[in-house]
Structures are given as C-alpha cells and as structure tokens.
C-alpha cells in the first residue's frame, strides 16, 4: 500500500499504530475526520513523502516522533482547517521537510514552541531542507519560529531565524503576526517573499540586503508596518518590488536607484510615502505602477524627471495621484507651464485612472508607436483626444467612468469614433453599483475585429485590478 486516504471517519479519535507501520506507504491524506485528536507517537514509514491533513477540528498536536526522526523521508506537510492546533512542532520541523503549508487554522500561534519539549534522543536538528513556507488565514499567528513559549502579552516576543534553505516565504491573512523573523543573514536561498493581510506586522527582518538570491518582494495590507529594512534591499537579482495598502510606511527602502536588476515596481493604494530620494527610481524598470502617491508623483514632475529616462519601460500605470492635473502627459511644473514631460518610446501599455480634473491627452501620446494597450478610467472631465488621434499601433482601447469622452466615442455619431476604426478592440463601459455594493461593469460599446484578442493583449497587460478584493490588489489574469 502506497497511498492511504481517510475521509469523514466521524468516530476516529486516534489513528491506529498499524497504519504507520506500512513500509511502502508514500502518501497519507486525512480529510474531515472531525473527532481525530492525535496520532500514535511513533516514527513515520521510511518511504513516506507527503502528509495532508484537512478539516480535523479536534486535532490538538502532531507527534514529536515525526519531527525528530532523522531517518524520515517526509518532504511535504500540508495542514488546513485544524482549529484545535496551536503549534506544529514542539522543538523542530522534520529535518527532511521541503514544503510546509498551513492555512485556515484559527488557533495556530507559532510553528515551533521550543519550550519544555525535547526529542527523545535529546539532540536537536534543524529543518535545513525547507524550501517553501506558505501560511495564510491563520488569524492567531503571532510569530513563525519562537524561541520561547508565547507570552500572555505580545510585547516581548522573541523570534528565531528562518531555515537557511528556504526559497519561498508566503504569509497571508495572519492578523496578529508581529514579526516574520529576527534576521535573514543566514539565508542564501530565499527567492520570493510575499506578505499580505498581516495588520499587526511592524517590521521586516533585518539583513534583506544580504539575500543574494532574492528576486521578488510583495508586501500588501500591513497597516502597522512602519519602516523599511535597514541596509536597503539586495542589488544582485531583485526584479520585482510591490507595496500596497501599508498606510503607516514612512519611506521606500533606501538606494532604490542602485537596484540595476529591478524591472517591476508597484506602489499601490494606501501607501502614504514622502517624496523620492534625490536619485529617484532605477531607470531600468520595465513595469511601473503608482497609485495614490501624490508626493512621489509630484516629485517626479517638479524636478523635471518625468518618465523619458526610463528607456526600457513597457507598462506604466498612474492612478489617483494628482487632483490638479489638466493634461497628460503633464507639464514640467505644478502650475501647468513649461514643456510637456515626454513618455518613453518603449511603452506598450499605458493606464491613466482617477484624475478628477484631467481634460485632455496631449499630442505626445501619438508618438508612442509601440503602444498596444491604453486604459482610461475615472476621469470625469476628460473630453479631448489629440488632434492627430491615437497611436496607430493600438490593439486595445478601454474607457470607463469618463462620461464626456465616452459620449464622443460612441458609434452612433460620436465625434471621435472615426479615430478609433484602426483599433481591433474598443471597449467603452460604465461602472454601476449593485445592491450589495459591489462594482458591476456594464459594457455599452464594444467593437471587436479580431478574434482571440485576450491571447494577444494578455501579453501586453498581464495584471488587472480586482475591484472586489478588500485591498484592491493587482492580480494576474488567467483568462
């Protein structure tokens, strides 16, 4: 027997010891056994690679024999919907473990307690092979690896370090979590960090700048996160940085302009940051999103930086950044005088949204001969396109909540309709509120010439705003 699945065994209180003596067993899946309290305190079968436990409400603990067995082959441990668990291991995680996923466990407070529990051998090993750590919807989680038993108050938490082989760290929806780890200096493998919905998180681990393999950092909806890590960010391979809805964050990490490998920067809504450092942003960006950060936006305009320096920029999204801007691209000062700040010729996708006084797109838009996607949204006073029309390269034009320009683009007699005939897909839409308060898009005008436009344009704009998400985060379209 290589695969064992137990489901909805309502009377099962403890797994029989004989079930763990099956020498050929490779996978165990236990689902919906709501009376299951414990497992026998014996080592796992030597060939067992994966354990998945789900919806076992009464399960209080996992055997320490699983955690301390140096002959174990266990690589994957996934636990979900086990609300009586308060921790995963007393001392350590299994030394062979490569992937750990914990979700929807309402009372999990930490992964390892390390207090008053010892392996039978008296020796301690670390989970040196752990590569993927995923934790989400665990609202009682206060730390990940704790050196001491959790105190009654959360003011004196002491947090240990993450495993040095960890490649992916994903933590979502853990509202009490205060700290991820004390430091990350010992990690040479970490490639991705994704933290979201951790409203009590106050700091990021020190030593981020020493993570030579780190490629992506995404931080969202961490309302008490105050400061960026000391020492800045790693320069070697970091390609993507995204920060959303962190209302108390005081500044972006220092030295962003030195990140020569950074290709994607997303500064989302709810991040009230001051103006940029004098050196600004790295000019090698491919994707730039700025949403609701007026100071950063204006510092780029007032210092005459503009976007033309970003010679590799392909996707540019500007949202809710300037209540006074009348024309786009803007002019070189806040009074609307001076020369128009040019956009990089490399742009393939441009999104402009949430400018209440924007009236016109200037003629420099026409010069963007690589532009294939243009999105205009929530600009109630927008009424003028450039006299020469829109770029001949456009494959998609999307307009919503811009009533004046929408009227001019109507198929039945709109002033600008003839300027749109070369565009394979034109979408003009209104967004209305439904009874339950959600946004519902009603498409009024769509003209589609070429089939399969999503396949073509999916490469142009692989992200869309999820309007029903509580954090209004950007999510990848899988359409």
Write down the domain spans for the chain: 1-113, 323-333+347-450
Q: pLDDT averaged over the chain? A: 75
Give the pLDDT mean for 435-442. 39
Report the candidate in 242, 232, 238, 297 with the shortest Cα–Cα distance to residue 266.
242
**Range with lowest mean pLDDT among 69-83, 199-213, 412-426:** 199-213
Confidence band of 471 (pLDDT split at 50, 70, 90)? very low
Report pTM.
0.72
Asked if residue 439 has pLDDT above 50, the reply is no
For the chain, the first-to-last Cα distance in angstroms comes to: 40
Nearest CA among 189, 210, 205, 182 for reference residue 127: 189
Statement: residue 152 has pLDDT above 50: no
d(C-alpha 114, C-alpha 414), whole Å = 71
With beta carbons less than 8 A apart as the criterion, state whether 19 and 41 touch. Answer: no
Q: How many CB atoms lie within 10 A of CB 332?
A: 18
Neighbours of 180 (CB within 10 A): 21
Distance (Å, whole) CA 427 – CA 409 = 10
361 close to 339: Cβ distance less than 8 angstroms: no
- Please give the residue that has the higher pLDDT: either 186 or 408: 408
Which position has the token pair 């770029």?
Answer: 391
Which tokens sit at 142?
Answer: 């206060």
Average pLDDT rounded to a whole number, residues 243-251: 82
pLDDT beyond 80 at 273: no
Q: Which residue in 267, 319, 279, 273 sits closest to 303, CA to CA?
A: 279
- What is the pLDDT at residue 248? 83
Q: How would residue 187 be classed by pLDDT, with cut points 50, 70 and 90?
A: low
Task: Report the percent of the chain where pLDDT is more than 70.
Answer: 75
Taking the C-alpha atoms of residue 472 and residue 468, their distance in angstroms, rounded to an integer, is 7
Other C-beta atoms lying within 10 Å of the C-beta of residue 479: 7
CB 219 within 8 A of CB 198: no
Report whether 470 contacts 223 (CB < 8 A). no
- Compute the average pLDDT of residues 36-59: 90
- Could you give the residue ranges of the DSSP H alpha helices within 88-145? none
The CA distance from 227 to 462, in Å, is 30
Tell me how far CA of residue 278 lies from CA of 48, 255, 275, 313, 341, in angstroms.
56, 10, 9, 20, 18
Identify the top-confidence range among 43-47, 186-190, 284-288: 284-288
Buried b / exposed e over 146-170, threshold 16 CB at 10 Å, is: bbeebeeeeeebebbbbbbbbbbbb
Question: What is the percent of the chain where pLDDT is above 90?
Answer: 22
* Structure-token pair, residue 375: 């999105």
- The phi and psi torsions of 32 (rounded to 5 degrees) equal 65, 25
**Which pLDDT tens digit goes with each residue over 8-40?**
998 889 888 887 778 888 999 999 999 999 888
Q: Considering only CA atoms, which of 181, 236, 180 is closest in space to residue 213?
A: 236
Closest CA to 79 of 126, 128, 137: 137
Checking if the pLDDT of 377 tops 50, the result is yes
**What was the pLDDT predicted at 145?**
65
Q: What is the pLDDT of residues 107-118, one digit of tens each?
A: 988 888 754 344
Q: What is the pLDDT of residue 391?
A: 92
Is residue 227 within 8 A of residue 201, CB to CB? The reply is no
SS3 243: strand
Contacting residues for 401 by C-beta, under 8 A, at least 6 apart: 377, 378, 379, 380, 430, 431
Instruction: Determine which of 177-186, 273-282, 363-372 has the lowest per-residue pLDDT on average.
Output: 273-282
Rounded CA separation 330/325 (Å): 7
Strands 99-103 and 132-136, how do they pair? parallel
The closest of 420, 384, 378 to 405, measured between CA atoms, is 384
pLDDT over threshold 50, residue 436: no
Residue 325 phi/psi, 5-degree rounding, is -65, 130
Summarize pLDDT for 82-128 with one digit per residue, the tens: 999 988 887 778 888 888 899 999 898 888 875 434 444 444 444 45
Q: How far is CA 414 from CA 172, 395, 399, 406, 430, in A?
A: 47, 20, 14, 9, 17
Q: Quick check: 395 and 460 in contact, CB under 8 A?
A: yes
pLDDT of res. 456? 27
Tokens of 359: 């009236």
- Which is higher by pLDDT, 301 or 152? 301
pLDDT at 250 over 80: no
* Rounded Cα distance, 150 and 90, in Å: 12
In this prediction, residue 117 carries a pLDDT of 41
Average pLDDT estimate for 280-302: 80
Triad 26, 80, 99: Cα angle to 5° = 50
């Amino acid at each position: 027997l290589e695969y064992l699945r137990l489901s909805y065994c309502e009377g099962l209180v403890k797994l029989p010891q004989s079930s763990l003596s099956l020498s050929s067993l490779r996978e165990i899946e236990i689902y919906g056994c709501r009376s299951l309290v414990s497992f026998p305190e014996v080592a796992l079968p030597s060939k067992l690679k994966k354990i998945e436990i789900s919806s076992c409400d009464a399960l209080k603990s996992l055997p320490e024999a699983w955690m301390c067995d140096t002959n174990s082959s266990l690589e994957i441990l996934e636990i979900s919907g086990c609300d009586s668990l308060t921790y995963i291991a007393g001392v350590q995680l299994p030394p062979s473990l490569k992937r750990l996923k914990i979700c929807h466990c309402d009372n999990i407070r930490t992964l390892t307690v390390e207090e008053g529990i010892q392996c039978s051998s008296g020796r301690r090993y670390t989970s040196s092979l752990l590569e993927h750590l995923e934790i989400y919807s665990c609202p009682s989680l206060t730390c990940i690896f704790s050196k001491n038993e959790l105190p009654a108050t959360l003011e004196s938490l002491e947090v240990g370090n993450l495993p040095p082989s960890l490649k992916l760290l994903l933590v979502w929806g853990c509202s009490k979590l205060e700290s991820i780890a004390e430091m990350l200096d010992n990690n040479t493998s970490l490639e991705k960090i994704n933290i979201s919905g951790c409203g009590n998180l106050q700091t990021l681990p020190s030593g981020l700048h020493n993570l030579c393999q780190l490629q992506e950092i995404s931080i969202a909806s961490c309302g008490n996160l105050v400061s960026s890590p000391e020492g800045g960010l790693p320069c070697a391979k970091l390609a993507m940085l995204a920060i959303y809805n962190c209302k108390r964050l005081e500044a972006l990490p220092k030295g962003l302009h030195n990140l020569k490998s950074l290709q994607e920067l997303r500064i989302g809504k709810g991040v009230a940051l001051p103006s940029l450092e004098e050196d600004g942003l790295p000019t090698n960006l491919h994707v730039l999103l700025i949403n609701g950060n007026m100071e950063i936006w204006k510092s780029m305009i007032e210092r005459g930086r503009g976007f033309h320096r970003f010679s590799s920029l392909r996707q540019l999204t500007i949202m809710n950044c300037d209540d006074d801007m009348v024309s786009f691209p803007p002019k070189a000062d806040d009074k609307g005088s001076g020369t128009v700040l040019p956009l990089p010729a490399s742009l393939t996708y441009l999104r402009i949204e949430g400018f209440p006084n924007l009236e016109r797109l200037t003629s420099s838009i026409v010069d963007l001969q690589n532009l294939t996607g243009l999105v205009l949204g929530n600009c109630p006073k927008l009424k003028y396109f450039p006299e020469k029309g829109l770029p001949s390269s456009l494959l998609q034009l999307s307009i919503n909540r811009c009533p004046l320009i929408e009227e001019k683009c109507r198929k039945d007699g709109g002033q600008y309709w003839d300027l749109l005939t070369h565009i394979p897909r034109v979408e003009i839409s209104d967004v209305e509120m439904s009874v339950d308060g959600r946004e519902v898009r009603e498409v009024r005008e769509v003209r589609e010439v070429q089939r399969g436009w999503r396949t073509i344009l999916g490469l142009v704009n692989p992200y869309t705003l999820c309007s029903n998400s509580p954090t209004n985060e950007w999510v990848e379209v899988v359409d």
